Amino acid sequence: MTPPEQSSKTVTYREALREAHKEALQRDDRVFLMGEDVGYYGGTFAVSKGLIEEFGEERIRDTPLSESGFVGAGIGTALGGMRPIIEVMTVNFSMLAMDQVLNTAATLLHMSGGQFNVPIVIRMATGAGRQLGAQHSLSLENWYAHIPGLKVVTPATVDDARGMLWTALEDPDPVVIVEHAGLYNREGELTVDGESVDIDRARVHRSGEDVSLITYGINLFKCLDAADALKERGIDAEVVDLRALRPLDRETFVDSVRKTGRAVIVDDGWKTGGIGAELGMTLVEEAFYSLDAPIARVCRAEVPMPYAAHMEQAALPQVEQIVDSAQMLVKPNV
């Protein structure tokens, strides 16, 4: 029997996340949302707008300005059988809850000899590009990807924004969902009948033969634009969206580079100690003899993020840098 065609609709990334929350709250009475201003204000990024009117204060809980306090409370409710979604607002503020995430949520299963799972989902916005200055423009998802006991996912598309939440809630262990703040207003085609999505596999968004552009989050779209520009120069670029930073789907991006022989890694964080270094070392370990050129990295500048708009853009990965890096690998003398 021929399966029915999937219909789709255009929504913003923010709307896809809101729909994901509504679906989760409707499907499972154990699910609740907790965080600063998630209730009547509707969330700092308007993701939870309207949810308190539909689900009430018991399930949409405003908290004091105490990240360590409400993340710790969320861990307690997860241990008690609930399925909390904790919004930490931004990765910049998540450092105030790092002790709870690293020393408690990520370690309890191991330290209890497998007796205590912590099924908590922690959401946070990341990234720069909105003129918020150095203290509110960090990209620290690599810190969380460094921690055993966590899963770290980075939805870029509206389908992933909607589908990854339910998958994360079904996981018996902690999942950190990192959403780039620059994506909230971005529109995309959402599959209306879509269910939860796999959070363990990377996705090849565009097939190519000459160079692999490996990235995650908002830089997926910069890489797709770069691939279009490279096509005009006679370079066929493959674009790989990691989708998760822990666990890394090494097989997908390694296979891509074995095919193309070249890799440009685009990372929103700093180059020093960044996820790009982990990806590059993985390629050296597993695909060294397939490489036809050195591995290139395009990362944010090694400075605190400037406030001025033109300097901020200069400090972030841009399409032109990706194109130039790929060009140098494929056609260095052109």
- Helix, coil or strand: residue 53: helix
Residue 318: CA count within 13 A, CB half-sphere: 11
| Cα dihedral across residues 35, 36, 41, 45: positive or negative | negative
Is omega for the bond preceding 247 within 30 degrees of 0, making it cis?
A: yes
The answer to whether 136 is a known catalytic residue is yes
CA 141, CA 96: separation in Å to the nearest integer?
15
Task: Tell me which of 15, 21, 36, 67 is the catalytic residue.
Answer: 67
Q: Is 193 exposed, middle or buried (0-12, 13-18, 19+ CB in 10 A)?
A: exposed
- What is the distance between the terminal CA atoms of the chain, rounded to a whole angstrom? 53
Give residues with Cβ within 8 angstroms of 316, minimum separation 6.
128, 129, 268, 300, 301
Catalytic: which of 136, 146, 170, 286? 136
Distance, CA of 238 to CA of 230 (rounded, Å): 11
Residues 313, 315, 316, 322: is their CA dihedral positive or negative? positive
Rounded-to-integer distance, Cα 46 and Cα 49, Å: 5
> Which one-letter amino acid corresponds to residue 8?
S
Name, in order, each residue with C-beta under 8 angstroms of 259's C-beta and a sequence gap of 6 or more.
Answer: 209, 212, 238
Measure the CA–CA gap between 215 and 279, rounded to whole angstroms. Answer: 10
Q: What does 117-167 look like in DSSP terms, one character per residue?
A: ----EEEEEE---SS--GGG----HHHHHT-TT-EEE---SHHHHHHHHHH
What backbone torsions phi and psi does residue 92 show, to the nearest 5 degrees? Answer: -60, -35
The residues assigned a catalytic role are: 67, 136
